[in-house]
């Protein structure tokens, strides 16, 4: 299964007027990072970055001046996400902005059944919280010390690690399978399936006739209620 763990940064909180200014994504294949990423800064046109948003992500209007508009990167974005599940933390927010940008370009919205919200997952798994990305990193022992500001690609990388931990993907992916998997560095490998076949011919018995006779004599001395007597009679399945 192919999934894209992604995040967006925006000029503000209202997707009716505010715009996406950064989007980053990490590709997972069967819960393993493939090494493929998507990352773009986007010029929001006339919409300026709100001071509150600037304090969170640090992306300035000046920095965005020479960046391409969303219309110029949407083709690459759609190609990268094609056929994959969209996975985000508080996906309602991110998908609201994605679908608003798509609507401006007359592109159909992303169907809800292709979207997974890791915040909802975390709230079900850890109902006492907290369930912010930073809190989940602490819970799962993921180093996020370098996260001084929000950034779409960095947050996607951290979320990918959190998501894999939440679904038990590290352990599940180690199961035997005939399908190709990928390591953290993107290296592909084929898991080996081990099949233990039955012997075409049973091994020769290693118990001598004298030993059999001695065992039978010992069993008969135990009395009729002894468990060994029931085994000898075949009334108990040794399995």
Q: Which residues are identified as catalytic?
A: 150
User: Which residues make beta-bridge pairs with 20?
Assistant: 10
Q: Beta-carbon neighbour count of residue 81 at 10 Å?
A: 20
For 28-54, b where at least 16 C-beta lie within 10 A, e where not — what string? Answer: bbbbbbbeebbebbbbbeebbbeeebb
Strands in 85-88's sheet, in edge-to-edge order, are 32-41, 20-29, 2-10, 85-88, 115-117
Terminal CA-to-CA distance of the chain, rounded, Å? 39
Q: At what angle do helices 118-125 and 91-104 cross, to 10 degrees?
A: 170
Whole-angstrom distance, CA of residue 94 vs CA of residue 15: 9
Whole-angstrom distance, CA of residue 137 vs CA of residue 13: 24
């Amino acid at each position: 299964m192919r999934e894209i763990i992604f995040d967006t940064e925006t000029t503000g909180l209202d997707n009716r007027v505010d715009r996406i200014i950064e989007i980053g994504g990490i590709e997972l294949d069967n819960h393993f990072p493939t090494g493929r990423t998507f990352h773009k800064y986007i010029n929001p046109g006339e919409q300026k970055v709100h001071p509150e948003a600037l304090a969170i992500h640090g992306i300035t209007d000046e920095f965005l001046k020479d960046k391409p508009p969303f219309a110029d990167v949407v083709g690459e974005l759609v190609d990268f996400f094609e056929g994959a599940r969209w996975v985000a933390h508080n996906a309602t927010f991110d998908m609201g902005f994605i679908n608003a940008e798509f609507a401006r370009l007359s592109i159909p919205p992303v169907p809800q059944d292709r979207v997974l919200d890791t915040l909802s997952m975390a709230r079900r798994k850890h109902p006492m919280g907290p369930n912010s990305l930073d809190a989940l990193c602490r819970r799962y022992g993921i180093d996020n010390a370098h996260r001084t500001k929000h950034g779409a690609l960095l947050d996607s990388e951290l979320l990918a690690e959190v998501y894999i931990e939440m679904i038990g993907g590290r352990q599940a992916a180690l199961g035997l399978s005939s399908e190709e998997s990928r390591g953290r560095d993107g290296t592909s490998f084929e898991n080996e399936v081990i099949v233990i076949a039955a012997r075409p011919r049973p091994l020769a018995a290693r118990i001598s006739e004298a030993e059999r006779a001695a065992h039978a004599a010992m069993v008969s001395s135990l009395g009729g209620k002894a468990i060994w007597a029931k085994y000898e009679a075949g009334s108990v399945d040794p399995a």
